[in-house]
Amino acid sequence: MTMTWGLCGPDHVGSERRTRTLDIGAAVREYNERAVPGMGAVWYAKQLLLATLGVALAQALRRHGMTHSNIAVANAIEALGCYFALTRDNGQGDSRVRGSEKLRGKAGFDFKTLCKPGFYVSQPMRMGSGQALLALGLVRAQGERFNAFACTDFGGEFINACCEDDGVLLETLVQWALKGRAVSDLKPGVRQLLSPLHGLPAAARALLSRR
């Protein structure tokens, strides 16, 4: 008599991908700082655009009477970029994209929802960008507090070079935020400009390289 032994398995075994940081984040930041002083935790250029754009947008909205802080708006812009990367560019698992769990299933939200605490990750990339923004002259401030930053003329020039539109993107985001429109109302061009998975134009990279 022949007997077959084994275990009954499920019909479908799902795959799960995890990121192991190995607790070497501090060592990476130290290496980056020694390699390029002033860069802190910035390791790709789109981080600089998202943070600078956040400061510029916060300034513009305050001129219209809105009271969101630099931190809230910059986090919202980063969350928006990562949302587009996840939903439009298949950015799941890419190290340039955060919030895959937080942003999962979210849709139809507006700017005010984006700015709410807890909507996005607790440690955004923005947190490691302040030193680099100051060192490159993209912002100015008395001290290093992000909420005290103000976009410089060079910061505005950098944003325009990234967007290749002489301020159109910033005004588009201002009007989108003021009118409380849903994220789906933003055009594909805006989605590509904000997604961390799309690089900066050559002109924007050249501006940074000269600093």
Is 57 part of any domain? yes
Is 204 part of any domain? yes
Is 23 part of any domain? no
Rounded to the nearest 10°, the torsion over CA 21, 116, 178, 147 is -70
Residue 134 contacts by C-beta under 8 Å, 6 or more apart in sequence? Answer: 38, 140, 141, 144, 149
| pLDDT at site 204 | 96
Is 162 part of any domain? yes
Q: Write out the H or E segment, with its range, that includes residue 50.
A: helix 46-63
Tell me if 59 sits within 8 A of 150, measured CB to CB. Answer: yes
Is 123 part of any domain? yes
pTM surpassing 0.85?
no
| pLDDT at site 62 | 97
DSSP annotation of 200: P
| pLDDT at site 25 | 67
| pLDDT at site 39 | 73
Is 156 part of any domain? yes
Is 2 part of any domain? no
Residue for token digits 């290496």?
31
For residue 44, give its domain range.
38-209
Tell me if 56 sits within 8 A of 151, measured CB to CB. Answer: yes
If one counts the domains in the chain, the total is 1
In order along the chain (211 residues), what is the average pLDDT of each group of 10 residues? 60 55 70 68 93 98 96 98 93 92 94 96 94 95 92 97 92 97 94 95 94 84
Is 9 part of any domain? no
Burial of 83 (0-12, 13-18, 19+ CB in 10 A): buried
| pLDDT at site 76 | 98
